[in-house]
Amino acid sequence: MSVRTPVARPAAAPRARRGAAASRPAAPPQLTLLNRERSILEFNRRVLAQTLREDVPLLERLRYVCIVSSNLDEFFEVRFADVLEAARLPDSGITAREMASVVEDAHALIRDQYSAFNDVVMPALKQQGIFILNHAERDAKQRAWVDAFFQAQVRPLLMPVSLDPSHPFPQVANKALNFIMKLGGRDAFGRENRIAILKVPRVLPRVIRLPAELCKPGEQVFVMLSSVIRAHLAELFPGREVEVFSQFRVTRDSDLEVDEEDVANLRQALRSSLSTRHFGRAIRLEVVSSCPDELTDFLLQQFELPEAALYKVNGPVNLVRLNQLIDQVDDSVRPDAAAALRFPPFEAGWPAELPRGGQGGSIIATLQQRDVLLHHPFQSFDPVVAFLREAVHDPDVLAIKQTIYRTGSESVLMELLIEAARRGKEVMAVVELKARFDEEANINWAERLEAVGAQVVYGIVGLKTHAKLMLVTRREAGEHGPLLRHYAHLSTGNYNPKTARLYTDTGFLTADPAITTDAHGVFQQLASQTELPTPRCLLLAPQHMHARLIELIGQVAAAARAGVPGARMVIKVNALTDPAMAHALAAAGQAGAQVDLIVRGACMLPPGLPGLSENVRVRSVVGRFLEHTRALWFCWGPGEDEQQLYLSSADWMSRNMLRRIELAWPVRDPALRRRVIEECLSLYLDDSLDAWQLGADGRYQRIEAAEGQAPRSAQRRLMRALGA
């Protein structure tokens, strides 16, 4: 692949005003930032748009529907829950009008999601012989099979509750499937208790595939668990009439509230809190569109929710569970249609610089000669595993240190750390216990590591450890006797081989003494909490990353103000919501610097406003893989020594910069720097298939290829260039 540096456009912008210190520049006049929550919903609109693309295989389009549901669950559980909490404070600055606007956007997005599911995706799947049948659509044999399935595997687990003073409204778990029924007649004791609740156990599959013998040739038939239960509700109340009913699902605030300053053992406190996570304050109520008002009013009252928190949906109340259908579809039923159903298989490439396992050679020996850049998922994550495995089995490796944020409940990397400790190596693991929704897995790994003698710490009180860092210390022969040498792996993504096949990220293997010495200092600080000298190469949050990045923005702005040609920045992150950084970027644009932002998700900086942000352009890329790479390029002159390129674990959000342990590291090798600029920035600025352009009003428009040109996809080009 050729290396091509993006060409700077001519600068033509008013001079920026002189303002406050570099770390907190004055906001450009009249620049109003975009609403963060609406920006998050806009990102999900871009994801939903994938379901309408005819060049995306059908099951993948259904998967995007599921992804939107999963994203919205987290939005309500975490983001919107935080906004509601903040809005209760008198000085929050959050107006009722803003809240209403966010709620209106959420309702509109969910309506469009179900419309895409019902009117586009499911009809297209039917054409490929894939059906989800309700009770009325099932034939006699299918109904008989469903009835047998219900009697044998579902009914024994169901326990409906009729409400009365001695049977109060049950505790309903977060995101669980439930039914509410209004009953006619009298119960076994002659009373007219009218409302019943049925909680559906999580252990039951939400999507059930019918046997092939019950389907026509070339067809695959599925039924939803909710449909199975709905068809048999009357059997649960013999002697009574089920007059009306509805599925429902409540989304709750799922942040774990633990006062780290007031607990003696954070791990034990979090484990105790996990049991209550599913029963936090209700935030959203979902019911089917046919649910009568009297039942919705009753549920809203029970969960103490306003009417705006009610979402009536035209279909299953939990589309996330349709991932089970995607996993059960058998491509061999219609081999001719397989290409229309799924993305073609992709095999990640192995970097040519590194020896492959079983073919001799040493990764550590390679790092003694050069740094190695890994670009996932286009290149395999296996070299990271191989690097750690080599360190574990190398008798000259004395110590291994690693941060653990999201590694999964099953992890070859964690098993290797346990093996290293068993072999007598010094193992230190910095486990982030408050990695949202991964707390239980991380607690379990922490306990297993401690059991074999590894040193386990939980970072710094009040700060999440989000940095992705591994350090190997090896005893080697030196000119004046044995010496200790460090080898490091730094990453923009998690130590999780599964997500490394789905997310775009960069990994960096190095023996550079400046970087590895800084990395050693980071681990020392996380363990001892001792103040250390400012790192020579690494940018560390919360200490100085924020101020240094704003300083670099100011350096580019100063060059533009002085008329230096080519003063520009290209920033690729997942989110830009830190006000100080957004204002600094706008001010740099006012000074004449060209600013290109590639922001996957929420971006609060409105581009293209005359006199304010007209030199700022913002694009978002949504493709086959989830964009997760963070690459930061600052250029204040034409020379190699007049630019700085960082890779980073941190998004440009206030929480990342000020309330987390984060790292950014420089790419100092000119060839690797050009490669990052090409692969992570240039190709994405040239994307005309998966890219969207942000407008000053906060809305996005898909970028179209120029007339006469074929659309270009950064991800597809990287798959061709770097794949096996």
* Active site (catalytic) residues: 466
For 472, the 3-state DSSP assignment is: strand
DSSP assigned state of 592: T
pLDDT of residue 12: 33
Global confidence as pTM: 0.91
Q: Is the pLDDT of residue 13 over 50?
A: no
Rounded to an integer, the average pLDDT of 173-198 is 88
- Fold agreement between 96-341 and 540-722: no
Do residues 409 and 441 make contact, with C-beta atoms less than 8 angstroms apart? yes
Average the pLDDT over 387-397 and give the result: 97
pLDDT at 269: 62
| DSSP category for residue 291 | -
What lies within 8 Å, CB to CB, of 366 at 6+ separation is 353, 354, 355, 372
The pLDDT score that the predictor gives to residue 11 is: 33
Residue of 599, 600, 597, 604 whose CA lies nearest to 578: 604
Residue 8, pLDDT above cutoff 50? no
Which position has the higher pLDDT, 421 or 26? 421
15 pLDDT tier (thresholds 50, 70, 90): very low
Mean pLDDT of 354-365: 82
- Contact yes or no for 580/20 (Cβ under 8 A): no
Task: Please report the pLDDT score of residue 24 as a whole number.
Answer: 53
C-alpha–C-alpha distance, residues 33 and 635, integer Å: 25
The Cα 57–Cα 385 span in angstroms is: 32
Lookup: tokens for 448: 């297993």
Q: In the predicted model, is pLDDT for residue 385 greater than 90? A: yes
Q: Which of 274-283, 494-503, 639-648 has the lowest mean pLDDT?
A: 274-283
Please tell me the predicted confidence (pLDDT) of residue 3. Answer: 39
Residue, of 601 and 165, whose pLDDT is higher: 601
Q: Which CATH superfamily is domain 363-534 in?
A: Endonuclease Chain A (3.30.870.10)
**pLDDT of 16 strictly over 60:** no
Band of pLDDT at residue 18, cut at 50, 70 and 90 = very low
Long-range contacts of 480-486 (CB under 8 A, 24+ apart): 484/398, 485/511, 486/511, 486/513, 486/516, 486/517, 486/519, 486/520
Q: Where are the domains of the chain?
A: 96-341, 363-534, 540-722
Please enumerate, by residue number, every residue annotated as part of a binding site for Mg(2+): 406, 436
* Res 489 pLDDT > 70: yes
Tell me which DSSP letter residue 317 carries.
S
Band (pLDDT 50/70/90 cuts) for residue 164 is confident
- The separation between CA 592 and the C-alpha centre of its own chain, rounded to angstroms, equals 34
The per-residue pLDDT for 439 is 80
Per residue in 306-336, pLDDT (tens digit) is 999 999 999 999 999 999 999 999 998 988 8
Whole-number mean pLDDT of the chain? 90
Q: What is the pLDDT of residue 5?
A: 38
* Residue spans of beta strands (DSSP E) within 278-418: 282-288, 310-313, 372-376, 397-404
What tens digit of pLDDT does each residue of 67-106 get? 999 999 999 998 887 777 666 666 666 677 888 889 999 9
Close Cβ partners of 348 (under 8 Å, ≥ 6 residues apart): 376, 377, 378, 379, 380, 381, 501, 722, 723, 724
pLDDT at 522: 95
Query: Does position 251 have pLDDT exceeding 90, yes or no?
Result: yes
CATH topology for 96-341? polyphosphate kinase like (3.30.1840)
pLDDT computed for residue 275 by the predictor: 62
* 9 contacts 558 by C-beta, under 8 angstroms: no
**Segment (H or E) for 674:** helix 670-676
CA separation, residue 654 to residues 108, 545, 546 (Å) = 29, 11, 9
- CATH class of residue range 540-722: alpha beta
List pLDDT tens digits, range 435-485: 666 788 888 899 999 999 999 998 787 889 999 999 999 999 988 889 999
| Residue 4 pLDDT | 40
Q: What is the mean pLDDT of residues 582-603?
A: 97
Handedness of CA 295, 297, 299, 302 (dihedral sign): negative
Instruction: Pick out the residues of the known binding site for ATP.
Output: 71, 503, 600, 628
**If pLDDT is split at 50, 70 and 90, which confidence band does 256 have?**
low
Locate 604 and state its tokens: 């609060």
The residue count for the chain? 724
Determine the distance from the C-alpha atom of residue 399 to the mean position of all C-alpha atoms in its chain, rounded to a whole number: 32
- Over residues 98-154, the pLDDT tens digits come to 888 899 999 999 999 999 999 999 999 999 999 999 999 999 999 999 999 999 999
**Which of 273-282, 350-359, 557-566 comes out lowest in average pLDDT?**
273-282
* 197 contacts 177 by C-beta, under 8 angstroms: no
| DSSP single-letter state for residue 164 | B
